[in-house]
Copies of this chain bind each other. A is one copy, B any other.
């Protein structure tokens, strides 16, 4: 019986709808297992810019630091996407949060619920049994290096950068995880071209010596983008830099049937942040059709990783599994065989999970 304080940060677009469902699931778990969870809410992204002019208000950051874990939605707004010259952007809030909270390790587990084998564009016989855990570095690379314009704005540049220390700490986390799984680690880089990648490979090769029981493989990012689709079962733990991780994990969402199913944990020096890997999806915002399962599964990760509540976390995952087994789907994970009356909206599928 524990007392924990959880900050809900819905952010933009469908972030609102899906975190509301995620929170209900946390509430239910607290009731069922006799914990006391208290909550607060805070702004980030476009909604924060609208309210305060700042994509990550100090107040939000303060609240994050003081909470035991953060359940996060999504950030982004089409307005900025179509205006490449905008100076203040929702994503700055997300990136600043990652940096300020020292969230250097982003864990993205890709595991297909058997019931969703048909929902993917990849053949079931290629997918069946695939189970990958990505470690994406989250506070370095081209995301955080110097960037700007020169030659009167005619030339744009971005600096990608990694220090040994930054690579070491994420590599260690990935090796530790591999030890608890199938003991295989694939490190992804572009060491044939990029200097940051050569440092990355050097460091991973060095750390590998501390984990002789883990089988290590180095792949180029282009080859990996292909192999993930061709033979997803060959991967166990994958560790990679921020930008490559961004691209490869979105791609890998097809292995899990839909992006709407994928949760992620961002951890590091302090409070952990848990969020779906999908974005703000303004095209479906407010329509009540967004898939909340990624937010629910993010809550499960939160329980497991930040609170060490394994049984509680498994209860959530098995509830999701039961709902899928009962044939319920949101639109994004439905297939031609799904009867119309089993296709539920955001809240309705949330209610099924709560049951």
Contacts and interface: CB of A to CB of B under 8 A. Distances in A.
Interface of A: 76, 80-82, 84-85, 89, 91, 95, 121-123, 126, 142-143, 145, 147-149, 151, 154-165, 190-202, 205, 218, 221-223, 225-226, 228-231, 243-244, 246-251, 253-254, 259, 279
A274 to B, nearest CB: 19
A200 B154 CA distance: 11
B160 A193 contact: no
Contact of A195 (B157, B162, B200, B225): B157
Contacts of A147: 194-196
Contacts of A259: 226
Contact of A191 (B81, B226, B250, B253): B81
A201 B84 contact: yes
Contact of A91 (B193, B225, B279): B193
B250 A225 contact: yes
A344 to B, nearest CB: 21
Given A81-B192, A84-B191, A192-B80, A225 B247 contact: yes
Contacts of A156: 161-162, 195-196, 198-200
A158 B244 CA distance: 15
A299 to B, nearest CB: 23
A197 B123 CA distance: 34
B122 A193 contact: no
Nearest to A147: B195
A200 B84 CA distance: 9
A96 to B, nearest CB: 12
Contacts of A85: 198, 202
A348 to B, nearest CB: 24
Contacts of A142: 142, 160, 193-194
Contact of A196 (B81, B154, B158, B279): B158
Contacts of A198: 84-85, 156
Given A84-B197, A147-B194, A156-B162, 7 more contacts: A121-B123, A121-B126, A145-B157, A154-B164, A156-B199, A158-B194, A225-B247
16 contacts: A81-B191, A85-B202, A95-B193, A121-B123, A122-B229, A145-B157, A154-B163, A156-B162, A156-B198, A157-B161, A158-B161, A158-B195, A190-B246, A222-B247, A228-B251, A229-B254
Contacts of A205: 84
A162 to B, nearest CB: 6
A121 B95 CA distance: 35
A223 B259 CA distance: 10
Nearest to A222: B250
Nearest to A192: B91
A172 to B, nearest CB: 17
A55 to B, nearest CB: 12
Contact of A89 (B121, B192, B223): B192
Given A91-B193, A194-B147, A229 B201 contact: no
A246 B222 contact: yes
Contacts of A229: 121-122, 229, 251, 254
A162 B148 CA distance: 11
A71 B145 CA distance: 39
Contacts of A249: 222
